[in-house]
Structure 1
Amino acid sequence: MRDLHLPGRSAVLATEGMCATSHPLAAQVAVDTLKRGGNAMDAAIAAAVLLGVCEPQMTGIGGDCFVLYRLPGEDRVRALNGSGRAPAGADAAALRGAGQKTVPLRGPEAVTIPGAVDAFCHLSDSVGRLGLDAVLAPAIHYAETGVPVAARVAFDWSNDADALKGVARDRYLVDGAAPRMGQMFRAPGQAEVLRRIARHGRDAFYTGEVAEDMIAALAAQGGAHAPGDFAATACSPADPVSGAYKGDILFEHPPNGQGATAILLLNILSQFDLAAIDPRGAERAHIEAEAAKLAYDARNRFIADPDHTARLDHMLAPETASRLAALIDPRRAMPAAAPLTEAIHRDTVYLTVVDRDRMAVSLIYSIFHGFGSGIASEKFGILLQNRGAGFTLEPGHPNEYGPGKRPMHTIIPGLLQRADGVVMPFGVMGGGYQPTGHARLVSNLVDFGLDPQGAADAPRCFADGGVLKVERGYSDAVRAALADRGHEVVIPETPLGGAQAIAIRPDGVLEGASDARKDGCALGY
């Protein structure tokens, strides 16, 4: 139990159903959907699509999603890959010939075909109860009437507004500036697109006028996207990857997501007696930072489009983790294990929903960098992701930019099956931070006995790009001790990640946690 003398959040407890996500309107819509007879998948889709209106700098229908879910009465965890592909005209050699070292971050080359809408339509049809018209109605309402901009959203909006260009500035700025907290944001063009999807399904987005609007916006920027690229988009069922940590089992989405990185990181950390050291001390932060360098180096070498990822078994093998752990000096920081080979940022939304039948959904949905590519379509204002920046231009690399390929993704939903019978769908937003966030949350639960809310609230650090980002929740003495070990310590302007979780307890109670680093909450009934 938390110390009630100190600021913080209590766990949210309920029995019939629950949602935890980064915006309270989305959590409320999810719970309302459950009360109207929808199941957890209906509620997750309703909340996710609304988040594209509440947090447009983070996500939207121009983006991708990954989903883990467990159906009532099943022990099996299922995965769905809702990430899109590079267009048929994608050409790494041409970019290298033009002098590019990486895929241009905000150029049309970075725009992969949005995959989330196809995934949502598939899941609504195959798993949901209510149908798209009912599920999309709340997002249509709020896109048309508007939502007041929340505090964290306003902060991120201001930081990322420079990415917007052309018509995107008209659609996503208010009087030419990022909206302030409390100002209203409306997206009537998206409301019309959602109405069409509700009536006609995924083809209303991937063919016809809506697709033509997106293609025209990309062509105007020099993009190679064609109608066939959009029409061919299809989500892919998959089997999760999993790994054990001290009796608990962590399920992650397989490549092209980076979830295997979290499993490798925990495998490395299991070589150390973390439970015997100070959870907020320099020793734990140092070991975690060094393990992350090694795990992310493996990620950059191996994770790619599922058809091109060849050494996943090696990456997840216990002996691999053992050999990597032996490289860690408890007293001294190593240089970065290898340069990062793709862009990393933090812009994503995550939500989890559990219903009365105990269907559990873990869903993450993103346009990658703040406001994605910065390119929006003219008629409908659909903001397009820049997931193609996750490719590399290194010739022969499994994650090399190429036609019809899915890039390495930073977004990862998680689900933890605990030795005591608790099942916990969870996620930790934050781009490249996410594997570290998953590993730290699991370690907080397993090694230090924290409850989900306490595990989410605890301070974070992250070895990223040659520096160690250490949140203000750590003491100055810890920062000094880390610097003495050779880390270049910085306090990040933006807090690291944002966690959401729902623990399904053996006694039938749902226990929700929502990170105070975001605007959201857990709500149940």
Structure 2
Amino acid sequence: MSSPHAIAHPAFRPSVMGKNGVVTSGHHLASQAGIQIMMAGGNAIDAAIATAAALGVVEPQSSGAGGDGFILIYSAKTGTVSAINATGAAPTGATREFYLKRGGIPMKGILSVSIPGLVDGWLVAHEHFGTRPLEDIFAPAIAFCEEGFPLSHKLANSLRGETKRFASDPYTRAVFTNDGQPLHPGDIVYQKDLGKTLRKIAAEGRDAYRTGEIARDLVAFSQSRGGLLTEADLKNHCARIGDPIAVIYKGYTVYETPPNSSGHILLQELNIVENFDLRALGYNTAESIHLMVEAKKLAFADREKYVADPDWVDVPIDGLLSKDYAKERASYIDLERAAIHVPPGIPESVEDTTCFCVADSEGNAVCQLQSIQSGWGSSLIAGDTGILLNNRMTYWHLEKDHPNCLMPGKRVRHTMNPVIVTKDGKPVLICGTPGADTQVQTNLQLVTHILDFGLTPQEAVEAPRWRSLQNPMESTVPHTCEDVLQLESRFPTIACEALARKGHDLRYLSNWGGPGNAQAIQIDPETGTLMGGSDPRRDGYAIAF
């Protein structure tokens, strides 16, 4: 578990190690909540739910009870990986024609809100794998709501850009401003209404959000603002638990969440990259970066053509993940020249967010992504529920022939994709990141940094990061962007110059300006040592014991 690259790319923080449990998340208080539950006797799944609930309080701009999520769980008891889809569908009244008459889907406001699915996913995970009472699991998050927590510099900066919008609404004004003025680092934030809501969920379980008082309050707020949510929408929503998708990469089994997640992209990228000698190309060289960027382009072209909610679209997932198809797609890569236009292949028919990872001494492991879509979601708190609502409707397409075209009751295509990697049936790596369409790109970098080049989790999450933008394949409306390759300025000049010669249109970010908030845990199968790394680009911290 040692890295040969510590001198070339040192991590500014050490990887955190423990024997009994580790949590890596986007905020130290959320990691603390998960550790607290494990130290009280809970398992990794209990800790994951506690971390998830706490993140919705202390990192409200990224996720929470008004959003969605995907959860991957390795159960030591069964030796299997399960995938939980906790994403909500479009409301019954959300038709393509409705939005076209209004000029499209708005980025903010009540018409950007889809059915929240996350809470039901938490509770399904608890029903199947949890051991501690929900009252205990939600206790840390409730304490952060009722007793308050200090505002970080990162969150204060994010709030500053929303202060004018928040000041104009009584519910957000009361929570996220100081009587209409910006909050400052160190100010204490209280969310007492949200604390009451979490207490109701802990006491009443799944019915609280689907048919109880919380559901009625959400619908009443939506309708008072001209929104589309109905009581039937919430009642009919159910999180789903099922099988993940997976590929074998150099002897490791890499698990992902299936569509409507974009997890297939990472698996396609790995299948394509496996056709080349990545280690021989070198760590963070122009050659290895170019190969991964070109693999990404091929996988994204396939997503745009084939992938959406499999209840509505026939997704050829077996064909997309086959080794033969990957070999065919790999043949399109020119190692000396960047592709400008990348068409989809023909497989055989056979998405601001937060991420956290948890592992315990029993061998259980969890990787979870949850989100309210872009920063601060719809920017609306649903009345006295204290729930900040998502703006996930902005991921829909309105073109009739697009596989991700909006339909009532259909689940939008998501970018979230948690990762679990096993070797000989045991988990050895858990990783993920927020960052919309950059998630599968950052995950590719994390997996190859650790498995191919031997970096530690902390070195992998701190390593210089790239992001490829591909027009018109962005998930968020209007789905267009520049065709560019963005690089953090810490990449070696020699690599950047070589990438430019290969035809990449480069854009430079600040030293730590890359996307995501990556989290990773590596597990030593011989000693059982748990090693965690957390991204310093936001407020992330790993804690172990």
1:381 Cα offset (Å): 2.9
Q: Find the counterpart in structure 2 of residue 21 from structure 1.
A: 25
2:484 alignment partner, one of 448, 464, 467: 467
* CA distance in 1: counterparts of 2:455 and 2:465, whole angstroms: 15
- For 2:235 and 2:452, how far apart are their aligned partners in 1? 48
Q: Give, in whole Å, the separation in 1 of the partners of 2:402 and 2:10.
A: 50
1:504 corresponds to 2:508: no
**Distance change in 2, residues 1:118/1:482 (3 Å):** same
- Which residue of 149, 153, 156 corresponds with 2:155? 153
Kindly indicate whether the alpha-carbon contact (under 8 Å) linking 1:168 and 1:374 is maintained by their aligned counterparts in 2. no
Q: 1:314 aligns with which of 314, 319, 323?
A: 319
Aligned length: 517
- Which among 374, 387, 390 is matched to residue 392 of structure 2? 387
Compared CA separation, residues 262 and 163, structure 1 to 2 (3 A): farther
Q: 1:161 to 1:33 in 2, by over 3 A?
A: same
User: What does residue 173 of structure 1 align with?
Assistant: 177
Question: Does residue 233 of the first structure (1) align with residue 237 of the second (2)?
Answer: yes
SS in 2 for 1:364: strand
Paired AA for residue 88 in structure 1: T
Displacement of 1:350 after TM fit?
1.2
Corresponding position of 1:491: 508
CA apart distance, 1:410: 1.0
Q: CA deviation at 1:483?
A: 2.6
Instruction: State how far apart, in whole Å, the 2-side matches of 1:337 and 1:418 are.
Output: 33
Secondary structure (helix, strand or coil) at the match of 1:429 reads coil
Describe the superposition over 1:24-47 as per-residue Cα deviations: whole angstroms up to 9, x where unpaired.
111111111011111111111111
Deviation at residue 161 of structure 1 after TM alignment: 5.5
Q: 1:3: Cα distance to partner?
A: 3.9
Equivalents in 1 of 2:403, 2:9: separation in Å? Answer: 52
| Kept after mapping to 1: 8 A contact 2:429/2:521 | yes
Mean Cα deviation higher: 234-243 or 475-484: 475-484
Aligned residue for 1:342? none
In the alignment, structure 1 residue 83 sits paired with structure 2 residue 102:
no
- Aligned-pair identity (%): 36
Correspondence 1:184 to 2:188: yes
Which one of 496, 515, 530 corresponds to residue 479 of structure 1? 496
* TM-score, normalised by the number of residues in structure 1: 0.92
Q: Name the Cα RMSD after superposition.
A: 2.3
Deviations 1:248-282 (A, max 9, x none): 11100111111001001111212222211231222
- What is the deviation of 1:78? 0.8
Change in CA separation of 1:81 and 1:8 when aligned onto 2, cut-off 3 Å: same
What is the TM-score with the length of structure 2 in the denominator? 0.89
SS in structure 2 opposite 1:361? strand
Correspondences of 1:203-282 after superposition (within 5 Å): 203-282=207-286
Segment drifting more, 16-25 vs 390-399: 390-399
Distance 1:326 1:167, change over 3 A: farther
Q: Which moved more, 1:56-65 or 1:295-304?
A: 295-304
Q: Any unmatched runs of 5+ in structure 2?
A: 345-350, 470-480
Change (3 A) 1:72 1:119: same
Q: Distance in 2 between matches of 1:209 and 1:94?
A: 29
**Pair 1:62 & 2:79 matched:** no
Tell me: CA distance 1:162–1:412, structure 2 relative to 1, closer, same or farther (3 Å): farther
Shift of 1:213: 2.9
> Partner amino acid for 1:216?
A
1:28-47 to 2 correspondence within 5 Å?
28-47=32-51
Structure 1 residue runs of 5 or longer lacking an equivalent are 340-345
**Aligned partner of 1:118: which letter?**
D
Q: CA deviation at 1:368?
A: 1.0
- Residues 276 and 57 (structure 1), Cα distance of their counterparts in 2 relative to 1, 3 Å cut: same
Correspondence for 2:114 among 102, 112, 115: 112
1:331 Cα shift? 2.4
In the other structure, the counterpart of 2:440 is: 435
Q: Secondary structure at the match of 2:80?
A: coil
2:383 aligned counterpart, secondary structure: coil
SS state of the match for residue 440, structure 2?
Answer: helix
Change (3 A) 1:318 1:139: same
1:376-412 per-position Cα deviation (integer Å, ceiling 9, x unaligned):
2122331111222222112143321111111101111
Q: Which residue does 1:343 correspond to in 2?
A: none
2:518 partner SS: strand
Asked if structure 2 preserves the Cα contact closer than 8 Å seen for 1:163 and 1:370, the reply is no
1:332 corresponds to: 337
